[in-house]
């Protein structure tokens, strides 16, 4: 017996013939590897009803069609035999085409039927270009003609006609007209049910429902770039594989220049000019087959176009989605690295590539799906739903937020572009009639700012002053109040202790010119014979810094230490720990200096202390390189005070005001001044 809720009844009332009971797909599909949009294409006309008898009749009809024409891989030989016997036969299968340049002709490959090198006319390929870019599901009219030969080889299979499994016509005005009959929450749930989710199921709160909606934004916003990292089985790739014929899923390492951008031999534009969305599955593995695909992808993600020497500038509108698994708790990743680190090594430190990401979806918040999370209620049939999404790509609400809000002064052009595109995407999904309120925009704006700020925060972690300012805010035009947006995963997380540092503990930062690293120094001094043991680093430069510092101390023991506290009377165990960043470089001598004396005298250092700079063997204080990057890194990770060599004084103006507002940056000119400012006066 069919049990309908009020939303089911409303969907049937307004969209009969275009909605389908979503659990029917699972019932019919069984073990068949056929996308949901193929099944719902067949189901929509006969199963858009609450009449159980008609529903069962429609299901039987679809089963008959599938039984007679859908090809399971194990039935390939039988289908080929039927085609030979009958001479002509219709099948439901996935068809792709490849160019045989040597023979100057196309060959069709029919996936489940295991038909290779079927004859196909140039006109069919021209009319259905996606055949060359991964293929399409279609109702295929096949013929068998043993007289077709090339040389002595017979190629009897012929593709006579193709009917792609998608709507032939679509009128978007129906959606605009009917939207007013649904409350906002009803429409939201209908959209999510259409994507296969059950909004009322356990574990899906409003926060998670909004995250699921974000997955649809690349389908309504052209040239939209998104990353989602999360656990397995949370449906990251489902949207782009199952619910639309306008997206393609590319396995890791399979993205070639010819497939994605342009085939230099034929001049044919690749996937970016054909599909609405290109999803790279398993983006934690290798992304591209060709290394020169990366600069082309950067150009494309930035502007929606790219240049090839012979072909000039080529444009496309496909959105780019990078999906991947994150196998550690996000807190652990943030303690040791950044949230882009699980991505392929081709791009996970390429700030120019990563800055082009409009939205970083925190997939780790979406729990693994269980059967109850998939809906059994009515939603738009996937072919109709995919046309709704596609039709929205023609409109834009890029400036919609300007009526009510101003973006804060910290937000750069790329940030603004991303935020506006996300807000526009939400409006297209939730208000296809163009009617929305200030409250609606506020909801979408705060979500958009979070999703883009997540990108910026990780870029800042990777390094570089270019990304230092992540203070995202908006101003309400009516009240002139300014509101700042925070990230859930960043709240209360400081790597540098806010309390007085234990004896022998000090923090510093190093830089190799590109990557900045937060370093913790821990020194334990025990009575001994002057031995020294350094662990945690194999860097010759770091070991040289430590050696020079210790030698300076030995040479000046009488003035720095006293007879009861001499280096010859202690064994020093020095542990160097990489708290955040790629690798530890030099420039840690001053921090080692205060840590050694703190450890020997059992003196606490000031709360949240970090020290930059080096001490030469002769006692000279060396300037700290990449000063602003290092201070910013330390400040953002909890440093209350960062002691800096006097030679860096002229660079104080390069520090962001947000850093100076929360971190004290005093300067020191010699080792005595350094100690006075570092040790806690109890």
**Mean pLDDT in each 10-residue stretch from start to end of the chain (682 residues)?**
84 89 77 72 73 81 84 89 94 93 94 94 89 86 94 95 78 89 97 93 91 97 96 86 86 78 80 92 84 89 80 85 88 82 90 96 89 90 89 94 93 95 98 96 97 91 71 90 83 79 94 87 91 89 94 89 81 88 87 95 93 94 93 91 96 88 94 91 66
pLDDT at 378: 92
Burial of 294 (C-beta count, 10 Å sphere; 0-12/13-18/19+): middle
Residue 258: phi and psi, rounded to 5, are -65, -40
Q: What CATH number is associated with residue 664? A: 3.30.230.10
Whether residue 457 is found in the same domain as residue 523: no
Whether residue 509 is found in the same domain as residue 485: no
Whether residue 533 is found in the same domain as residue 615: yes
Q: How many CB atoms lie within 10 A of CB 349?
A: 17
Cα 185 → chain centroid: 27
pLDDT at 252: 67
668 domain residue, yes or no = yes
Whether residue 603 is found in the same domain as residue 472: no
Q: How far is residue 389 from each of residues 49, 174, 195, 243, 395, measured CA to CA in Å?
A: 23, 13, 11, 11, 11
Q: How far is residue 276 from each of residues 244, 273, 544, measured CA to CA in Å?
A: 10, 8, 55
d(CA 632, CA 649): 15
Residue 282: phi and psi, rounded to 5, are 55, 55
d(CA 23, CA 377): 7
pLDDT at 464: 60
Running DSSP on this structure, what letter comes out for residue 493? -
d(CA 471, CA 397): 24
Whether residue 518 is found in the same domain as residue 634: yes
Cα 337 → chain centroid: 16
Whether residue 556 is found in the same domain as residue 649: yes
Domain final residue, candidates 464, 490, 516: 490
What lies within 8 Å, CB to CB, of 637 at 6+ separation is 494, 495, 496, 518, 579, 580
Burial of 200 (C-beta count, 10 Å sphere; 0-12/13-18/19+): middle
Buried b or exposed e, range 312-347, using 16+ CB within 10 angstroms: eebebbbbbbbbbbbeeebeebbeebbbbbbbbebb
Q: Are the C-beta atoms of residues 665 and 591 closer than 8 Å to each other?
A: no
Residue 116: phi and psi, rounded to 5, are -105, 145
Whether residue 510 is found in the same domain as residue 480: no
Whether residue 540 is found in the same domain as residue 671: yes
Domain final residue, candidates 103, 135, 164: 164
Q: Are the C-beta atoms of residues 305 and 363 closer than 8 Å to each other?
A: no
d(CA 355, CA 357): 5
Strands, sheet with 277-280, edge to edge from the N-terminal-most edge strand: 247-250, 277-280, 319-325, 225-230, 359-362
Percent of the chain having pLDDT more than 90?
54
Buried b or exposed e, range 522-541, using 16+ CB within 10 angstroms: bbebeeeeeebebebbebee
Burial of 469 (C-beta count, 10 Å sphere; 0-12/13-18/19+): buried
Whether residue 607 is found in the same domain as residue 659: yes
Residue 103: phi and psi, rounded to 5, are -100, -5
Q: Are the C-beta atoms of residues 270 and 258 closer than 8 Å to each other?
A: yes
Q: State the total domains in the chain.
A: 3
604 domain residue, yes or no = yes
266 domain residue, yes or no = no
Structure tokens at 418: 């991303």
Which residue range(s) make up the domain with 101? Answer: 73-164
d(CA 464, CA 513): 9
Q: Are the C-beta atoms of residues 129 and 91 closer than 8 Å to each other?
A: no
- In 175-318, DSSP assigns E strands to 225-230, 247-250, 277-280, 305-308, 312-315
146 domain residue, yes or no = yes
User: Dihedral sign, CA of 119, 124, 125, 129?
Assistant: negative
Whether residue 517 is found in the same domain as residue 596: yes
Across all residues in the chain, what is the average pLDDT? 89
DSSP string, 620-663: PEEPPTTHHHHHHHHHHTT-SEEEEEGGGGGGGGGS-HHHHTT-
Q: Are the C-beta atoms of residues 368 and 232 closer than 8 Å to each other?
A: yes
Q: Are the C-beta atoms of residues 24 and 387 closer than 8 Å to each other?
A: no
Whether residue 538 is found in the same domain as residue 476: no
Whether residue 526 is found in the same domain as residue 634: yes
d(CA 169, CA 172): 10
343 domain residue, yes or no = no
60 domain residue, yes or no = no
Structure tokens at 19: 């909605």
388 domain residue, yes or no = no
pLDDT at 435: 96
Strands, sheet with 641-645, edge to edge from the N-terminal-most edge strand: 532-535, 570-580, 516-527, 505-511, 609-611, 641-645, 667-668
Name the helix (H) or strand (E) containing 36: helix 36-47
Q: Which residue has the tokens 């005595």?
A: 672
Domain final residue, candidates 130, 148, 164: 164
197 domain residue, yes or no = no
């Amino acid at each position: 017996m069919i049990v309908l809720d009020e939303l089911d009844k409303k969907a049937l009332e307004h969209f009969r013939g275009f909605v389908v009971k979503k659990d029917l797909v699972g019932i019919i599909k069984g073990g068949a590897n056929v996308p949901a949009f193929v099944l719902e294409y067949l189901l929509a006309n006969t199963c858009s009803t609450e009449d159980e008898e008609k529903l069962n009749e429609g299901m039987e009809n679809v089963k008959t069609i599938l039984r007679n024409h859908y090809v399971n891989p194990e039935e390939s030989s039988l289908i080929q035999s039927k085609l030979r016997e009958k001479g002509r036969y219709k099948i439901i299968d996935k068809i792709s085409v490849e160019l045989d340049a040597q023979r100057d002709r196309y060959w069709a490959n029919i996936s489940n039927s295991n038909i290779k090198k079927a004859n196909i006319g140039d006109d069919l390929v021209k009319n259905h270009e996606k055949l060359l870019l991964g293929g399409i599901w279609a109702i295929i009219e096949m013929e068998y003609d043993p007289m077709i030969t090339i040389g002595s080889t017979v190629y009897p299979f012929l593709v006579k006609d193709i009917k792609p499994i998608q709507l032939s016509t679509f009128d978007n005005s129906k959606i605009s007209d009917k939207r007013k009959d649904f409350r906002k929450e009803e429409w939201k749930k209908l959209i999510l049910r259409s994507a296969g989710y059950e909004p009322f199921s356990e574990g899906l709160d409003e926060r998670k429902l909004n995250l699921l909606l974000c997955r649809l934004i690349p389908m309504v916003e052209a040239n939209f770039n998104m990353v989602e990292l999360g656990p397995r089985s949370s449906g990251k790739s489902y949207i782009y594989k199952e619910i639309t014929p306008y997206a393609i899923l590319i396995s890791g390492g399979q993205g070639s220049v010819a497939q994605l951008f342009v085939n230099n031999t034929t001049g044919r534009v690749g996937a970016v000019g054909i599909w609405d969305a290109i999803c790279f599955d398993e983006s934690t593995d290798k992304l591209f087959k060709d290394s020169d695909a990366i600069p082309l992808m950067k150009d494309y993600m930035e502007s929606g176009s790219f240049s090839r020497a012979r072909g000039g500038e080529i444009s496309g509108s496909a959105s780019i989605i990078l999906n991947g698994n994150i196998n550690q708790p996000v807190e652990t990743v943030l303690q040791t690295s950044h949230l882009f680190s699980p991505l392929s090594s081709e791009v996970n430190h390429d700030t120019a590539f990563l800055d082009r990401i409009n939205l970083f979806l925190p997939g780790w918040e979406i729990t693994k799906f269980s059967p109850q999370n998939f809906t059994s209620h009515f939603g738009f049939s996937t072919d109709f739903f995919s046309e709704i999404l596609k039709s929205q790509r023609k409109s834009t609400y890029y400036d919609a937020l300007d009526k009510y809000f101003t973006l804060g002064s910290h937000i750069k052009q790329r940030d603004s572009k991303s935020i506006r595109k996300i807000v526009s995407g939400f409006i297209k999904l939730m208000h296809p009639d163009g009617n929305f309120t200030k409250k609606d925009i506020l909801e979408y704006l705060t979500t958009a700012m979070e999703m883009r700020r997540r990108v910026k925060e990780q870029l800042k972690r990777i390094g570089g002053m270019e990304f230092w300012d992540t203070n995202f805010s908006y101003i309400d035009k009516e009240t002139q109040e300014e509101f700042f947006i925070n990230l859930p995963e960043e709240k209360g997380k400081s790597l540098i202790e806010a309390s007085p540092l234990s004896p022998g503990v000090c923090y510093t930062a190093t830089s190799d010119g590109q990557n900045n690293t937060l370093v913790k120094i821990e020194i334990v001094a025990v009575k001994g014979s002057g031995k020294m043991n350094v662990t945690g680093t194999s860097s010759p430069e770091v070991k040289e810094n430590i050696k020079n510092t210790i030698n300076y101390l030995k040479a000046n023991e009488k003035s720095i230490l006293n007879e009861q506290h001499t280096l010859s009377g202690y064994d020093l165990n020095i542990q160097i720990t990489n708290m955040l960043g790629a690798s530890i470089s030099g420039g840690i001598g001053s921090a080692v200096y205060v840590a050694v004396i703190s450890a020997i005298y059992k003196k606490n250092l000031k709360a949240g202390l970090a020290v930059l700079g080096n001490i030469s063997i002769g006692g000279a204080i060396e300037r700290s390189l990449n000063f602003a990057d290092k201070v910013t890194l330390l400040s953002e990770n909890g440093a209350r005070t960062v002691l800096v060599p006097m030679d860096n004084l002229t660079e104080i103006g390069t520090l962001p005001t947000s850093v100076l507002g929360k971190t004290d940056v005093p300067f020191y000119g010699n080792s005595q001044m350094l100690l006075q400012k570092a040790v806690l006066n109890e």
